[in-house]
Structure 1
Amino acid sequence: MSSQLKVALVVASVREQRFGPVVAGWVREQLEAHGGFEVDVLDLVDVHVPVTLDGSGDTEALRARIGAADAFVVVTPEYNHGYPGYLKIVVDTVLEEWAGKALGFVSYGGSAGGSRSVEQLRQVFTELQVHTIRRQVVFSGVWDRFDDEGRLVEGARYEGAAKSMFDQLVWWAAALREARRTPVVA
């Protein structure tokens, strides 16, 4: 088994003119700088699953990618005090493949920085037996945090938060990868 952890970096927004790819680009750079991760960018704009959850579309490919991951980082905005609806459809499309893995959040938005969407998502992922990392990265007023080229302005605070979250993610993902070798007791 490789010592590198496979991390699916989930870009949750599918709206036109979304800011998620800018934030996700920064997160990917931070994951790569941290080391120890093999990153799979899973941009939901490129994933086509039906709202009926009937298994068609990209369902099998999505299951394979989620199943292959040891951990996840979800980059999510906050829309109307909640998380993106399409993210919920994707989460519900793939159930068993999420279980027994670790997940960190990077949220963005206005004054709350997406923190309300994360609090709701913690409940959803707990039900799927995913361990959500306590530390998170929150970009309030996100549009003022990045320059026109997508570079983070005054990034030391955010880099420190990301490192702390990734340190926890490594520990939990490695521990849970080992634990997944033993079948779960029902």
Structure 2
Amino acid sequence: MAQQQETRSEPVDEFVDDTQDCEEREQAHRSRGTARPITVVGNPVLHRECQEVTEFGDDLATLIDDMFASQRAAEGVGLAANQIGVDLKVFVYDCPDDDGVRHVGVVCNPVLDELPAGERVLDDSNEGCLSVPTAYASLPRPDVAVVRGQDAEGKPIAVRGTGYFARCLQHETDHLYGYLYLDRLSKRERKDALKQMAEGTPRYETVPND
């Protein structure tokens, strides 16, 4: 958790506007990308902190395109790089907030702000994960989240989310530090979620754990 609070980029005063031209931007990424299978709980890449993004070039752009394609194929609202087996701190999202406003974007090297208690309320809605297919559990998270990092070109950015979108930002940032939402559940709740997963059938291609 301490590493998530470190700041590695210059502060930015304004939050990105990720609500404009969402369909066009998402479709452009997806049309260039190739959907990849999703890693699932137990795969080592999901259970360790990812490497910092240090090169902001064509390889990263291709990865981001593939992530958008993979996210759409799996019908997800957020996807971290390690969920397609890539050990880098980058996530993409295509997620509505509680007002139904669509947000589309990418964050590299994300760091969650520690918001004052007075600025947030815990929301205990259900949470699911593409890497824990077919399973859901109630998980309290702050209903407001601010993530700071870099965009695909390495420029400093900040993203603010509320409600469902706030949950997405926290969930994806967790992934890049080696945490699944299962790790925030009680032993009983975790066992129940894994049972749901074992009894379900993923609707998208996954990477088998050897």
Name the structure where helix makes up a greater proportion of residues: 1
Shorter-chain TM-score range: under 0.3
Q: Which has the higher contact order (CA 8 A, sep 6+)?
A: 2
Question: Normalized against structure 1, the TM-score is what?
Answer: 0.26
